[in-house]
Amino acid sequence: MQLKAINIDGLQTPNNVFLAPLAGYTNAVFRKMCYGLGAGLTFTEMVSAKGLCYKSNASAELLFVTEDYGGIKACQLFGGEPEYIKMAAESEHVAPFDLIDLNFGCPVPKIFNNGEGSALLADFDRAGRIIKAARSSGKRVSVKFRIGITEGNFVAADFAKMCEDSGADMLTVHGRTRDKMYAGEVNYGQIEAVKKAVNIPVIANGGVFCEADADKLVNNTVADGVMLARGAMYDPSLFCEITHSPVPDKKQLILKQLEDTLTYYGERFCLVFMRKMVAFYTKGGKNSSALRTKLFACNSVGELKTMIEGVEW
């Protein structure tokens, strides 16, 4: 794929290879690490607009950004009520961010059944009002959505037009329907239909685990860029591969992530989170099953660090 900057209503990204907002994973340290590896744009985990409005500490903590993060600051909000989206977008918590991404794609039953996430694909009017509410804050707004709720009932192109007409500055399209969750083939044709329907940047999402996957996704959709999700969790150096940047030593990269996570989030969070991440990083490797058994038996960050140092990366 051709590397290029993406212009989001005056915000210029260094390239068109982005990190997806991933609930439970894209904390401040992981975002900083991926940006350092070549990600052109990263997003926070999805944050409840209503939670921010009701002063939820857990929601506010998801918006933490390290002082040395050098990229465009982008947060993702979710919610089904325009008034809460507007209040959250205008809040002090969101003030430091340059870009608000709206989640119209989450397929999880708890979110969907509450009329949020991908449920909004069935309510163009309310989705449009949510976009306008976010845009009224003066922030730039992007939208991440799926191609439909059920296979065969695609709404991608029409939904994209509505998003653009409502004020969205960029779109990211996950090329699966809600009922597919995260499995199955990516529908290139539906992403291409979105690209042809609008005049704002379109980023393609789904199924990128190597540079060849990124090339295939862009070539088959004519999208402006790609967004990495699970591929980045398995190997954050995928950003280096796609952007042709130097690949760091994997062991040192993970140890640095461990150190930074401990510094910013404390021992308890660091242990739980980094055990989860190291499980991803070692998946498919030599003796990975036995390693994971030992990994989840670690009871301290020190013990986990020793284990990371002993792995043949």
State the catalytic residues.
Answer: 106
> What CA dihedral angle connects 237, 31, 307 and 235, to 10 degrees?
-30
* Residues composing the chain: 313
Calpha distance 3→265 (Å, rounded): 34
Q: In what order do the strands lie in the sheet with 73-78?
A: 17-19, 225-228, 202-205, 170-174, 140-146, 99-104, 73-78, 42-48
Q: Give all strands (DSSP E) within 175-224, no chain letters.
A: 202-205
Q: Is 248 helix (H, G, I), strand (E, B) or coil?
A: coil
Closest C-alpha to 31, from 279, 239, 267:
239
| Cβ-based neighbours of 32, under 8 Å, separated by 6 or more | 66, 68, 69, 260
C-alpha 255/C-alpha 264 separation (Å) is 14
13 phi and psi angles, rounded to 5 deg: -85, 150
Q: CA 106 to CA 297: how far, in whole Å? A: 32
84: helix, coil or strand?
helix
